[in-house]
């Protein structure tokens, strides 16, 4: 199982690393710079709202489906047709709630226009995630890897045409950015649906009230969990925009978005891990296979990525903001630096939270998430009016850390996991190594060369302290495990 996970993970990471940086640095960054921090701030606040409430589009279906189909593959044809019917019903509910929120807080006509398209985008995105969960559940990881970047490929092609040619006469509006996303999601949804349909065979699209009630009764705990986590992960931008007066709110959201968009981009590594680990953990738990080694193996891989990214971002926060060609670099850099340290607990959550989800330990996760939400919102209400976006960044880091530690403790108790002191010592040694690499790299006069040197030294350090054991990886690739 470790071999299957590792080989498919390498493929998935490779594909995403080849495609998504083009989206982040070539398209998204350019849109932020072209449209301006205020316009992008308005868009990003609306995006955060639509993303926070998008659980109404899913109601925990994707995670439950991944876990369930991975255990009982034969249920795919029956569930696919019925769940698509449920998705249509939930789309109407979601649209009513989001537009109702917009009316309640007094959004302008322009904000409502953008929000309407973001509602469609969130529906299509959730549909893509649900369809992909079936591929993951069937352990069709290679196919899932290939389709995981379809939407981004389309966005790069279409948005790149608008941005880098004269087709628009040199003009670009934030609304066009949203329209391109809509069209790209439509194309990706159709292609992935046809792939899943081929695996499922003939299905009948229908809405069965009995099936719906029974199914949602099983999935609603997952829905509550995702909603609670969304509040302490993304609602901070909504609070920044609402709590700060006048244009200051949009401006601070724009500054916050400079850092958060990069955090969101690197967090894809955690999402990729979780997407593969959920069906693997589910099947291992079902057949009562020991999961200790798998947890340690996946954690050592992801903590290597998160520590390297977070610490290097701290050492080169100003330079990274400059390389992104953002305005207000001085204000954005400290926000970015704090947010990137949140990547460490976020990736920890993607391992231990996924394990608990695979086990069905949703009650414990919901209690943890409820505490995290209350903590996050309470602290933000106190901190944002005084410290603005930087204060929200510290609150985010604090909340992520508390909830990640809680999930580790819960997982250790439920699965009786042994404390791997050797792994803990290697992680601590690696932290020291990366910090030293950062200090030494700052002695290089050319920032880009220094940053590249720090990353290279960090990778070398992972092998030196055996956080990543090359010999074991080689043996794993040769094995049939």
pLDDT at 471 over 80: no
Better-predicted residue by pLDDT, 323 or 210 = 323
The pLDDT, as a whole number, for residue 474 is 62
pLDDT given for residue 1 in this prediction:
61
456 located within any domain: no
Q: In terms of pLDDT, which residue wins out, 14 or 8?
A: 14
Tokens of 100: 């109702």
**Alpha-carbon distance 312 to 293, whole Å?**
29
CB-hemisphere CA count at 13 Å for 330?
0
Stated as kind and residue range, the H or E segment containing 71 is helix 61-71
Q: Which pLDDT tens digit goes with each residue over 268-311?
A: 777 777 777 888 888 788 888 888 888 888 888 889 999 999 99
* pLDDT tens, residue by residue, 318-330: 999 888 777 788 8
Count how many domains the chain has.
1
Burial class (CB in 10 A: 0-12, 13-18, 19+), 190: exposed
The pLDDT score that the predictor gives to residue 65 is 78
Q: Is residue 431 part of a domain?
A: no
pLDDT per position as a tens digit, 443-453: 998 999 999 99
Q: Is residue 261 predicted with pLDDT exceeding 60?
A: yes
Range of the domain at 119: 2-418
Residue 244 has a pLDDT of 84
472 occurs within a structural domain: no
Question: Is residue 301, in this structure, part of any structural domain at all?
Answer: yes
Structural domain includes residue 471 = no
Cut 0.95: pTM above it: no
Please indicate, yes or no, if residue 442 is contained in any of the structural domains.
Answer: no
Task: Evaluate whether residue 122 is within a structural domain.
Answer: yes
With beta carbons less than 8 A apart as the criterion, state whether 389 and 255 touch.
yes
What's the mean pLDDT in 251-280? 80
| Confidence at residue 439, expressed as pLDDT on a 0 to 100 scale | 95
Q: Are 128 and 196 in contact (CB under 8 A)?
A: no
Question: Is the pLDDT assigned to residue 405 strictly greater than 60?
Answer: yes
Q: 343 falls in which pLDDT band (50, 70, 90)? A: very high
Is 192 within a domain? yes
Question: Which residues touch 424 (CB under 8 Å, ≥6 apart)?
Answer: none
Nearest-angstrom CA–CA distance, 453 and 182? 40
Mean pLDDT of all residues in 342-370: 89
pLDDT of residue 360: 81
């Amino acid at each position: 199982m470790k071999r299957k996970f590792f080989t498919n993970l390498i493929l998935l990471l490779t594909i995403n690393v080849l495609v998504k940086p083009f989206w982040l640095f070539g398209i998204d960054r350019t849109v932020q710079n072209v449209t301006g921090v205020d316009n992008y701030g308005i868009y990003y606040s609306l995006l955060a709202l639509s993303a926070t409430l998008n659980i109404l589009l899913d109601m925990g279906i994707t995670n439950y489906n991944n876990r369930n189909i991975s255990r009982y593959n034969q249920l795919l044809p029956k569930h696919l047709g019925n769940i698509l019917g449920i998705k249509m019903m939930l789309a109407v509910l979601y649209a009513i709630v989001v537009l109702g929120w917009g009316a309640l807080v007094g959004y302008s006509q322009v904000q409502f226009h953008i929000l309407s398209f973001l509602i469609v985008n969130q529906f299509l995105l959730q549909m893509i995630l649900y369809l992909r969960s079936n591929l993951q559940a069937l352990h069709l990881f290679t196919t899932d890897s290939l389709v995981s970047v379809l939407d981004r490929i389309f966005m790069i092609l279409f948005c790149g045409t608008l941005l880098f040619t004269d087709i628009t006469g040199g003009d670009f509006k934030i609304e066009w950015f949203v329209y391109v996303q809509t069209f790209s999601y439509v194309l990706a949804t159709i292609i992935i649906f046809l792939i899943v349909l081929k695996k499922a065979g003939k299905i009948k699209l229908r809405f069965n009230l009995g099936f719906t009630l029974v199914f949602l009764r099983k999935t609603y705990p997952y829905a509550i969990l995702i909603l609670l986590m969304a509040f302490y992960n993304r609602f901070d931008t909504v609070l920044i925009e609402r709590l700060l007066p006048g244009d200051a709110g949009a401006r601070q959201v724009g500054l916050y978005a400079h850092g958060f968009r990069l955090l969101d981009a690197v967090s894809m590594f955690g999402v990729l891990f979780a997407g593969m680990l959920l069906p693997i953990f589910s099947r291992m738990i079902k057949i009562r296979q020991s999961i200790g080694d798998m947890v340690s193996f996946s954690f050592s891989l992801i903590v290597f990525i998160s520590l390297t990214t977070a610490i290097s971002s701290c050492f080169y926060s100003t330079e990274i903001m400059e390389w992104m060609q953002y305005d207000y670099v001085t204000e954005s850099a400290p926000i970015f630096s704090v947010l990137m340290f949140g990547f460490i607990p976020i990736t920890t959550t993607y391992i231990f939270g996924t394990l608990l989800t695979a086990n069905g330990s949703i009650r414990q996760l919901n209690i943890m998430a409820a505490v995290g939400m209350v903590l996050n919102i309470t602290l933000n209400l106190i901190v944002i009016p005084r410290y603005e976006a930087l204060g929200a960044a510290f609150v985010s880091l604090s909340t992520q850390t508390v909830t990640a530690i809680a999930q580790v403790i819960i997982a250790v108790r439920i699965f009786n996991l042994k404390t791997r002191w050797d792994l803990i010592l290697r992680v601590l040694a690696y932290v020291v190594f990366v910090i030293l690499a950062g200090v030494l790299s700052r002695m290089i006069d050319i920032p880009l060369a220094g940053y590249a040197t720090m990353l290279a030294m960090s990778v070398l350090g992972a092998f030196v302290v055996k956080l990543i054991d090359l010999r074991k990886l080689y043996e794993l690739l040769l094995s049939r495990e």
